Amino acid sequence: MKTLEELKAIREKMQGQVGLRSEDANQTRVVVGMATCGIASGARPVLTTLSDAVQTKNLTNISVTQTGCIGLCQYEPIVEVMEPGKDKVTYIKMTPEKALEVLEQHLIRGQIVSKYTINSEGRI
Amino acid sequence: MYRSHVLVCGGTGCTSSGSHKIIDTLQAEIEKNGLSKEVSVVQTGCFGLCALGPIMIIYPEATFYSMVKEDDIPEIVSEHLAKGRIVTRLLYNETVTEDGIKSLNETDFYKKQHRIALRNCGVINPENIEEYIGTHGYEALGKVLTEYTPDEVIQTILDSGLRGRGGGGFPTGLKWKLAKGNDADQKYVCCNADEGDPGAFMDRSVLEGDPHVVLEAMAIAGYAIGASQGYIYVRAEYPIAVDRLEIAIAQAREYGLLGKNIFGTDFSFDIGLRLGAGAFVCGEETALMTSIEGNRGEPRPRPPFPAQKGLFGKPTILNNVETYANIPQIILNGAEWFAAMGTEKSKGTKVFALGGKIKNTGLVEIPMGTTLREVVEQIGGGIPNGKKFKAAQTGGPSGGCIPVEHFDIPIDYDNLIEIGSMMGSGGLIVMDEDNCMVDIAKFFLEFTVDESCGKCTPCRIGTKRMYEMLDKITKGQGTLEDIDKLEELCYHIKENSLCGLGQTAPNPVLSTLRYFKDEYIAHVVDKKCPAGVCKDLLSFVIDPDKCKGCTLCSRVCPNGAIEGKVKEIHVIYQDKCVKCGACMEKCKFGAISKH
């Protein structure tokens, strides 16, 4: 290593990954339903896509975790976004592409992607 | 990239309780469940709660599993890692509350801790330099090489108020300044990793959990004093630490963070490992350097101090592992940040190895000035089995016992010396009412007698005579004159020994004499051991009113010292009794007691 820039490049590459190992009450939690219903309807690629994107973009204030059955099996894969001090937002019938859109619009820019939320179904 | 990291402790404590097997099984199970691309298994250094090992933390949920067994792994993988369902029965019980699962940082053990030296222990993989870089590793080295003059580095360390964590508490910046001031063609930076106090394992844990921090700090020290070569003197009994240091040095060289022209500057620095054979005296600075030179590890008189004539006769600085572990953080966060923690004369934090009669045996890092009561009762979880706190021993064989009346003393260098103990390297052994203080003093003296190098007479012969007197007292053959003589000899050895080993060897005796003289007197005058430890002063007796004549005691007695027929009162023959206590343990009626 001959320059500080090289060190910085490694640091930035690793920071997102090591940043996964932190515990902070002020973090935004993104929870993916990963019970049998979720997995069957394709929650796993949604989870890994979100997790990879958060680490690549070094978003250490966001933690992507999994949970069991959320209870709305027909709407799986479900992704819930819980920001400290705000109401929970529930996104339904997620795909990796839709999840990335949510990440860009909601988690980074702060605008809820209403077309994917559970309210968009018009039932709840 | 992985969505989940499973951190398994690979420190010495958890390794000995089987964490390697757990890692292997875990990897096999993850493979079997098709999760190898999503979940990464990371072997880390010590998390601190050694009593509950093997320990596993799963991120991003930060789920803390304790006392994990191989059989539990399939459940953890299929439930937690695959389906996100936490295996509640394996959780550390302190994190389970009525309102759900509490964060680990909220538990009593971690809440009061402040981790600087241990910040990466249990967080990163110590065998991967990139993980260290990912937590701002080597940034401090880059900063000093490109932005600071050597004098500015030394001034920062001086301003921070950092004092040597090996026990003496000498200001680190001053040590560096003295070495910088001595011109020479070659200077050396040494790291004292010869941790030898019984019950101390702070340095081992830093080396095992975060070896790069020591390398980085030594390079910073080398830049500050003008040295191009460093040596780490580590005991061969720390095989995991030695392995990880070797890996770390090789990786640092490969990344150009050790070697020639670091970061493209004129500064070149390399580090060599030297393994010690485990002699306690080699933790003393002059003996350590003599040993690195290839000679028998014996101390030599000072002056000249190492900063003038140290290793191979050249100016040398020698710091302890934990001291080095603070350096990069001081550079990155500033001297004021560090000086804001702690007490007036002791800044920052201190790592303690908690041991003895305490619930949470393990490793803790607390701000200086935390009271002993907080450490024992809150962080340590108190004393098991409802026993009463009697004393805490700090500083190992060089330190002393702190009695209950000083329970609320803020822990720092000067306070501990004032009450007759010392910081030492950070072993903290808790004792309860079942510990005999004379026996404790004897235990430490036995250690110093063994470890005295024999070069100077006061230590070689004096400690031996002290041990003999203590032995006599614990056997009930001592007199009051012996106690006086013992005390006199203590002062003589303290004043006349060549090195720190002898100068501090009488401390365990002096401090127990100061606070627990009544126990010495009980041994000498009443021929009793109040704690019921010293075997020669004990007798086991059967209470005739309670004995039912079940014959159980006579059957377990290894020496045939108990006689009696079925349904008749039994008797212990004192001349045959070896005082093993087996009969007392077995008796179902509580008829046997010791006096």
Please indicate, yes or no, whether residues B147 and B97 belong to a single structural domain of this protein.
Answer: no
Burial of B93 (0-12, 13-18, 19+ CB in 10 A): exposed
Query: What's residue B476's pLDDT?
Result: 93
Q: What is the per-residue pLDDT across A46-98, written as a single tens digit (0 to 9) for each?
A: 999 999 999 888 888 898 988 888 888 889 999 999 988 888 999 999 999 99
- Of B310, B338, B366, the residue that ends a domain is B338
Q: Is the pLDDT of residue B164 over 90?
A: yes
Q: Give CA–CA dist B341/B516, Å, rounded.
A: 34
Q: Given an 8 Å threshold on Cβ–Cβ distance, is A55 in contact with B1?
A: yes
Q: Name chain A contacts of B3, Cβ cutoff 8 Å.
A: 47-48, 50-52, 64
Q: Is the pLDDT of residue A2 over 90?
A: no
Interface of B with A (CB under 8 A): 1-5, 7, 37-38, 57, 59-62, 82-85, 103-105, 123-124, 130-131, 133-139, 142, 146, 255-257, 261, 263-264
Does A84 fall in a domain?
A: yes
Does A5 fall in a domain?
A: no
Query: What's residue B354's pLDDT?
Result: 94
Considering only CB atoms, A17 lies closest to which of B62, B134, B264, namely B134
Q: Is the pLDDT of residue A124 over 70?
A: no
Q: Name chain B contacts of A52, Cβ cutoff 8 Å.
A: 1, 3
Q: Are B412 and B368 in contact (CB under 8 A)?
A: yes
Q: Given an 8 Å threshold on Cβ–Cβ distance, is A23 in contact with B142?
A: no
Query: What's residue B595's pLDDT?
Result: 80
Q: What is the per-residue pLDDT across B233-279, written as a single tens digit (0 to 9) for each?
A: 999 999 999 999 999 999 999 999 999 999 999 999 999 999 999 89
Does A1 fall in a domain?
A: no
Provide the CATH number for the domain around residue A73.
Answer: 3.40.30.10
Please indicate, yes or no, whether residues B134 and B242 belong to a single structural domain of this protein.
Answer: yes
Q: Is the pLDDT of residue A123 over 70?
A: no
Nearest residue in chain B measured CA to CA from A13: B134
- The contacts of residue B317 (CB under 8 Å, 6+ apart) are B175, B176, B179, B188, B189, B190, B221, B225, B227, B306, B307, B310
The nearest CA of chain A is from the CA of B248 a distance in Å of: 15
Touching B: A residues 3-32, CB under 8 Å: 3-4, 7, 10-11, 13-15, 17-23, 25, 32
The nearest CA of chain B is from the CA of A102 a distance in Å of: 18
Does A11 fall in a domain?
A: no
Considering only CB atoms, A4 lies closest to which of B5, B59, B146, namely B146
Considering only CB atoms, B3 lies closest to which of A18, A39, A48, namely A48
What residue numbers bound the domain in which B389 lies? 349-432
Q: Is the pLDDT of residue B160 over 80?
A: yes
Mean pLDDT, chain A, as a whole number? 88
Q: Given an 8 Å threshold on Cβ–Cβ distance, is A21 in contact with B5?
A: yes
Does A8 fall in a domain?
A: no
Dihedral of CA atoms A64, A67, A71, A76 in degrees, nearest 10, equals 50
Please indicate, yes or no, whether residues B501 and B545 belong to a single structural domain of this protein.
Answer: no
Q: Give CA–CA dist B458/B321, Å, rounded.
A: 30
Structure tokens that stand for B437 in this block: 């203080």
Q: Given an 8 Å threshold on Cβ–Cβ distance, is B82 in contact with A23?
A: no
- Of B66, B85, B111, the residue that ends a domain is B111
The number of folded domains in chain A is: 1
Please indicate, yes or no, whether residues B301 and B320 belong to a single structural domain of this protein.
Answer: yes
Query: What's residue A59's pLDDT?
Result: 87
Q: Give CA–CA dist B198/B362, Å, rounded.
A: 14
Q: Is the pLDDT of residue B443 over 60?
A: yes
Structure tokens that stand for B414 in this block: 């000067």
Structure tokens that stand for B351 in this block: 């790592």
State pTM to two decimals: 0.90
Q: What is the per-residue pLDDT across B563-595, written as a single tens digit (0 to 9) for each?
A: 988 999 999 999 899 888 899 988 999 999 888
Q: Name chain A contacts of B39, Cβ cutoff 8 Å.
A: none
Least confident interval from A6-15, A16-25, B369-378, B529-538:
A16-25
Query: How would residue A122 be classed by pLDDT, with cut points 50, 70 and 90?
Result: low
Q: Given an 8 Å threshold on Cβ–Cβ distance, is B256 in contact with A48?
A: no
Q: Name chain B contacts of A99, Cβ cutoff 8 Å.
A: none
Q: Name chain A contacts of B5, Cβ cutoff 8 Å.
A: 17, 20-21
Query: What's residue B508's pLDDT?
Result: 95
Q: Name chain A contacts of B59, Cβ cutoff 8 Å.
A: 20-22
Does B118 fall in a domain?
A: no
Mean pLDDT, chain B, as a whole number? 93
* E strand spans, B195-235: 229-235
Q: What is the per-residue pLDDT across B78-121, written as a single tens digit (0 to 9) for each?
A: 999 998 888 999 999 888 887 777 888 888 898 889 999 999 99
Q: Is the pLDDT of residue A23 over 80?
A: no
- Of B384, B413, B432, the residue that ends a domain is B432
Does B426 fall in a domain?
A: yes
Instruction: Give me the sheet containing B316-320, strands edge to edge.
Output: B270-276, B229-235, B188-193, B316-320
The number of folded domains in chain B is: 5
Please indicate, yes or no, whether residues B367 and B395 belong to a single structural domain of this protein.
Answer: yes
Q: Name chain B contacts of A23, Cβ cutoff 8 Å.
A: 62, 103-105
Q: Name chain B contacts of A67, Cβ cutoff 8 Å.
A: 84
Q: What is the per-residue pLDDT across B452-493, written as a single tens digit (0 to 9) for each?
A: 999 999 999 999 999 999 999 999 999 999 999 999 999 999
Query: How would residue A6 be classed by pLDDT, with cut points 50, 70 and 90?
Result: very high
| Maximum pairwise Cα distance, chain A | 61
Query: How would residue B61 be classed by pLDDT, with cut points 50, 70 and 90?
Result: confident
A-B interface: how many C-beta pairs under 8 angstroms? 101
Does B343 fall in a domain?
A: no
Query: What's residue B210's pLDDT?
Result: 96
Please indicate, yes or no, whether residues B151 and B261 belong to a single structural domain of this protein.
Answer: yes
Q: Name chain A contacts of B85, Cβ cutoff 8 Å.
A: 68
Using the structure block, give the residue that is written with the tokens 């590793």: B137
Q: Given an 8 Å threshold on Cβ–Cβ distance, is B83 in contact with A35?
A: yes
A111 touches chain B (CB under 8 A): no
Q: Give CA–CA dist B499/B300, Å, rounded.
A: 8
Closest by CA position to B378, among listed B20, B110, B199: B110
Nearest residue in chain B measured CA to CA from A66: B84
A49 touches chain B (CB under 8 A): no
Provide the CATH number for the domain around residue B575.
Answer: 3.30.70.20
Interface test with A, best of B36, B58, B63, B83 (most A CBs within 10 A): B83
